[in-house]
């Protein structure tokens, strides 16, 4: 075939070439269309994923307010607990007056709250709006021993007209004796769905997009689809058309055990790409017609010079140093001569560019090293607590003079922590780090009393190993704050160390309430509300110090506690 093509006229070869190019262009157009469609779908998926994340963040933020209201009201000792535990009629009436004022204040804490109801186990109901009997059926839906529970969207008759409300609640347990865990009532908060959503319609800008928000039972509590019926179960075909005609993105709503569904018609999604494909075919056709004749006229003056240029380029590609000294002289159009001159200049600059490239890479590596060192210095920086330390020493002396032993011991432990943070060392023996953690736990035991138990398992031979300073205290603080504090009953905190395969493993385990996958990711990404920079700081410091193979690992599941493991290499750093 190749000898035959060589003997054919140049015009025939060019015609075949044009047909071949045309076929390639058509294939490229179809290929680009397919790839563009996939890219659009991928970008749309990323956009909707981000949209769902933003909506979840809004819902989580508003849900947190409702959670705090549930907890604060349920365990308000002076008013709510007193009202539910009171048996004397006269005293209960007085407590009812205080409760009415208190609940009115709590309603004002969050826009959209319609009613707050307290249903006592002794049969005494309390609420601020509506008919209390309409709320009684919801009492049995709330599970036991949950700090909060979102029942979902409920239809409640108000003034002889049914209205949809979101209901959240919790069972109230007496704080007189935590060990008995005696249930004394149920708390319900009735609020508009907008109080959880904010303005979800502002989060979706794509034309034709439809948003569906479902509660834990799969019922719609928000949608911008006029065909959707709020309060009813979500219907896949309610928006019209087959499901395959839509691009669908789903996401969970962890705080209320619900789901977000975003749908966009594929015809709307790919409309612009279809227009571009048609336009591309028209441009190719017109270009072929306009360029065919000039192409045939100039090819003879281009082909031969290009062949010589390609021959030299192939010789250079062989990598032989002698070929780099060769230069080319071409005759033809002015552009060909310019190309030849520029190519020769390019060859002259190759050696110089190579050296400059090496120098540039060296500088980039140096800049990257300085950047990493700056990040490490920033992460290890601490607030200078000299003033606080001196103040604590003064308080400790005053407590000793007054005989306030608890204040003296607590201040002494806190001062020890501050004094430890003043030290300039970056690495300390593990035993010294453990002493500071024990001081911090002593402070927490004053607060939690018998609700906090701690176990230590640290072999003596490991206590001399050097570790980065202040890596255990943030993890212990997180375990107490997020795991043990919300737990009902006694919390157990276990700290242990182990050595295996030249790696030091420091584990902090608790039997607290645990957390789901989304909360774990938020903690490690420093996105969870109220977490500070403790865990992210520890993880980043270890990775910057020892490398990406080391760091902080978290394992947890709701109701089963949390385990945090710090992994570091063991070298020659031993405190002697």
Could you give all domains of the chain from N- to C-terminal order, each with its CATH number? 454-569 (3.30.565.10)
Backbone angles phi, psi at 191, to 5 degrees: -145, 160
- Pick from 212-221, 259-268, 420-429: least confident: 420-429
Alpha-carbon distance of 522 to 482, in angstroms, equals: 13
CA dihedral 557, 441, 378, 568 (to 10 degrees): -60
Residue 346 reports pLDDT greater than 90: no
Question: So what's the pLDDT on residue 476?
Answer: 93
Region at 133 (left for phi over 0; alpha for psi -120 to 50; beta for the rest): alpha
Determine if the pTM surpasses 0.75: no
* Residue 349: predicted pLDDT: 76
Return the minimum-mean-pLDDT range out of 2-11, 29-38, 77-86, 514-523. Answer: 2-11
Residue of 376 and 423 predicted with greater confidence = 423
pLDDT number for residue 354 = 54
Helix (H) / strand (E) containing 53: helix 10-74
> In this structure, are residues 154 and 169 in contact, taking their beta carbons and an 8 Å threshold?
no
pLDDT band of residue 357 (cuts 50, 70, 90) is: low
For 492, the token pair is 């157990």
- State yes or no: pLDDT of 356 exceeds 90: no
The 3-state secondary structure of 153-166 reads EEEEEECCEEEEEE
- 341 or 139: whose pLDDT is higher? 139
Lowest mean pLDDT among 21-25, 140-144, 203-207, 364-368: 203-207
- Among the residue ranges 23-32, 395-404, 458-467, the one predicted with the least confidence is 395-404
- 558 has a pLDDT exceeding 80: yes
Q: Which two tokens stand for residue 236?
A: 């896949």
Q: What is the pLDDT of residue 340?
A: 72
Q: What is the pLDDT of residue 576?
A: 44
pLDDT of residue 498: 95
- Say which range, 125-139, 230-244, 484-498, 508-522, has the weakest mean pLDDT: 230-244
Q: Which of 250-254, 303-307, 484-488 has the highest mean pLDDT?
A: 484-488
Residue 367 pLDDT class (50, 70, 90 cuts): very low
Per-residue pLDDT, 437: 92
What is the separation, in whole angstroms, between the first and last Cα of the chain? Answer: 82
CA–CA distances in Å: residue 354 to residues 6, 152, 316, 359: 40, 67, 15, 9
Q: What value does the mean pLDDT take over residues 220-247?
A: 72
The string of pLDDT tens digits covering residues 430-474 is 999 999 899 889 888 888 888 999 999 999 999 999 999 889 999
**Predicted local confidence at residue 175, as pLDDT:** 81
How far is 234 from 240, CA to CA, in rounded Å?
13
**pLDDT over threshold 50, residue 525:** yes
Indicate the length of the chain as a whole number: 576
416 closest CA partner among 402, 445, 396, 446: 396
> Which of 94-98, 133-137, 411-415 is predicted least confidently?
411-415
Hey, how many other C-beta atoms are within 10 angstroms of the C-beta on 558?
A: 11
């Amino acid at each position: 075939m190749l000898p035959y093509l060589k003997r054919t006229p140049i015009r025939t070869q060019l015609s075949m070439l044009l047909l071949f190019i045309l076929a390639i262009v058509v294939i490229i157009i179809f290929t680009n269309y397919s790839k563009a469609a996939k890219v659009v779908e991928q970008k749309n998926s990323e956009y909707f994923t981000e949209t769902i994340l933003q909506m979840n963040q809004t819902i989580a933020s508003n849900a947190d307010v409702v959670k705090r209201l549930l907890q604060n009201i349920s365990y308000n000792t002076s008013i709510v607990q007193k009202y539910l535990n009171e048996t004397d009629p006269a005293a209960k009436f007085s407590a009812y007056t205080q409760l009415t004022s208190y609940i009115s204040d709590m309603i004002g804490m969050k826009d959209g709250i319609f009613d707050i109801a307290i249903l006592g186990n002794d049969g005494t109901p309390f609420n601020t709006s509506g008919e209390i009997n309409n709320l009684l059926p919801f009492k049995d839906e709330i599970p036991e021993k949950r700090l909060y529970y979102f029942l979902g969207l409920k239809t409640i008759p108000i003034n002889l007209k049914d209205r949809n409300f979101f209901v959240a609640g919790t069972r109230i347990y007496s704080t007189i004796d935590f060990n008995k865990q005696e249930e004394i009532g149920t708390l319900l908060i009735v609020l508009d769905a907008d109080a959880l959503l904010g303005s979800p319609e502002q989060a979706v800008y794509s034309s034709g997009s439809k948003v569906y928000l479902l509660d834990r039972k799969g019922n719609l509590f928000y949608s911008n689809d006029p065909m959707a019926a709020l309060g009813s179960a979500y219907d896949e075909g309610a928006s019209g058309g087959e499901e395959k005609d839509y691009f669908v993105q789903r996401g969970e709503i962890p705080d209320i055990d619900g789901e977000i569904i975003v749908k966009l018609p594929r015809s709307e999604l790919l409309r612009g790409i279809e227009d571009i494909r048609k336009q591309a075919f028209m441009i190719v056709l017109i270009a072929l017609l306009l360029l065919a004749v000039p192409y045939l006229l100039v090819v003879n003056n281009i082909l031969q010079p290009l062949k010589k240029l390609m021959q030299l380029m192939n010789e250079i590609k062989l990598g032989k140093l002698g070929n780099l000294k060769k230069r080319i002289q071409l005759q033809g159009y002015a552009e060909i001569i310019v190309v030849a001159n520029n190519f020769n200049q390019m060859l002259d600059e190759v050696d110089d560019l190579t050296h400059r490239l090496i120098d540039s890479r060296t500088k980039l590596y140096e800049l990257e090293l300085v950047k990493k060192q700056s990040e490490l210095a920033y992460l290890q920086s601490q607030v200078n607590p000299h003033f606080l330390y001196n103040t604590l020493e003064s308080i400790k002396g005053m407590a000793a003079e007054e005989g306030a032993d608890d204040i003296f011991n607590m201040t002494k432990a806190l001062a020890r922590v501050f004094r430890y943070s003043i030290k300039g060392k970056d690495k300390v023996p593990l035993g010294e780090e453990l002493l500071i953690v024990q001081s911090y736990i002593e402070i927490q035991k004053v607060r939690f009393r018998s609700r906090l138990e701690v176990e230590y398992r640290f072999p003596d031979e490991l206590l001399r190993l050097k570790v980065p300073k202040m890596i255990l205290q943030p993890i212990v603080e997180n375990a107490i704050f997020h795991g043990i504090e919300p737990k009902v009953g006694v919390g157990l905190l276990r700290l242990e160390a182990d050595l295996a395969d030249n790696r030091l493993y420091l584990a902090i385990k608790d039997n607290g309430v645990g957390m789901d996958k989304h909360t774990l990711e938020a903690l490690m990404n420093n996105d969870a509300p109220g977490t500070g920079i403790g865990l992210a700081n520890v993880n980043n410091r270890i990775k910057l110090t020892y490398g990406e193979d080391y760091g902080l690992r978290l394992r947890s599941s709701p109701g089963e506690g949390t385990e945090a493991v710090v992994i570091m290499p063991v070298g020659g750093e031993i405190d002697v």
